[in-house]
Amino acid sequence: MRVVVFTTSYPRYADDFAGRFVSDPVERLRARGLDVQVVHPGVYEDYGVAYQGGGIMHAVRRRPWIAPRLALSMIRTLRREARDADLVHAMWLAGGVVALFSAKPFVVSLLGSISGGPLDDFVLMRRAPWLVRWICHRARATICISEALVESAQKAGIENIRFIPIGIEIPETVGEEADPPEVFYTGRLSPEKGVQDLAAARDGLNLIVSGDGPLRHLFPDALGFISRAELDERFRRAAVVVVPSRSEGFGVVCAEAMAYGNAVVAGATGGLLGLVRDGETGLLVEPGNPKELRAAIDRLLADPVLRKRLGENARRWITELCSWDHVLDATIKTYEQALGKEFVRHPGPSEDPR
């Protein structure tokens, strides 16, 4: 089976976190024997708008004269790369529009958005459900990465929905908390991530922040983007991981922290509602409410028994929901259903074919 993935975000170097939600499953699908190619910025000409703050579509809004040339570059490149493909897998509704011109069967993944702008999947489904249906009902399947996106898609009238969460690597062991206890935030330092609320609530906290973005000035001591190895170590050391998002399609940081057995405080929004069960696998707080955020953090810092219970429950839940075996099995099954045929894996040269 040959699949071409179309995306506007993909890692540019080893520790680049941009588009990891695309590259991680691609690598694992290849390991399962699928021939997967990726059409991403750099494969098509992006005219300097990729990897700008808020995503490629947000950058196009600031330079609208680029849009026709960008669209033509995307379509031409995808058609060329998909010439011998069985299936196209498009990321975001906007990617689904490009896939319509691929002349191939396609599936589309609804991911939400990092920007919360007018091309956010949530926003489009609410404001233009007719347009969303027009795209998705031409796809062989619509994949939603969170229960919140499934609910929005159903309200928009989409019928061919598959719920497949983002896969998470489950570490074999969890670490020991640092002393004194650390509160950890990692991710983009931007408004939709609620970091302004964290800044307002941080007084006196032993807070470690990694990431970058337009609100970096709120955290002059931020570490910037760190390597995967350092990020894993930060999760192992953390007593509390805070995810104060005001908008979230899935919540990769939240899920990764839960996989490490961390106690999580998360904004009650979007995909986070499907990951955190308040009082069972973490604590949920009202987005945009710094006082409630601080109260939840203080509650966890004051109660190590509660932290341990929530962390253990979270690790079990994420292992069940987001393990790579579950995600890859569901993805391949969706591809098979889209094409009406079963994928038969052929053994590699070093494998016993019997």
Report the alpha-carbon distance of residue 315 to residue 259 in Å, rounded.
5
Report the alpha-carbon distance of residue 354 to residue 191 in Å, rounded.
55
Is 346 a domain residue?
A: no
Domain holding 202, by residue range, is 183-322
Q: Phi-psi category of 6—alpha, beta or left, where left has phi over 0 and alpha has psi -120 to 50?
A: beta
Q: Which CATH number characterizes residue 249's domain? A: 3.40.50.2000
Asked if 243 and 281 sit in the same domain, the reply is: yes
Asked if 78 and 13 sit in the same domain, the reply is: yes
Kindly give the confidence (pLDDT) of every residue in the chain, 354 residues in length, as a single tens digit, with 9 standing for 90 and above: 999 999 998 998 887 777 889 999 999 999 999 999 999 999 999 888 777 666 666 667 777 788 899 999 999 999 999 999 999 999 999 899 999 999 999 999 998 864 445 557 888 898 899 999 999 999 999 999 999 899 999 999 999 999 999 999 999 988 899 999 999 999 999 999 999 999 999 999 999 999 999 999 999 999 998 998 999 999 999 999 999 999 888 899 999 999 999 999 999 998 899 999 999 999 999 999 999 999 999 999 999 999 999 999 999 999 999 999 999 999 999 999 999 988 766 544 444 443
Is 155 a domain residue?
A: yes
Is 301 a domain residue?
A: yes
Asked if 39 and 111 sit in the same domain, the reply is: yes
Is 248 a domain residue?
A: yes
Asked if 318 and 334 sit in the same domain, the reply is: no
Is 177 a domain residue?
A: no
Is 350 a domain residue?
A: no
Asked if 163 and 228 sit in the same domain, the reply is: no
Asked if 238 and 140 sit in the same domain, the reply is: no
Is 82 a domain residue?
A: yes
Q: 305, 285 in Cβ contact below 8 A?
A: no
Is 214 a domain residue?
A: yes
**Could you give the angle at which helices 324-339 and 20-31 cross, rounded to 10 degrees?**
80
Cis preceding linkage at 180, omega within 30:
yes
Residue 50's pLDDT is: 75
Asked if 96 and 206 sit in the same domain, the reply is: no
Predicted TM-score (pTM) above 0.85: yes
- How many domains are contained in the chain? 2
Taking every pair of Cα atoms in the chain, the longest distance, rounded to a whole number of angstroms, is 63
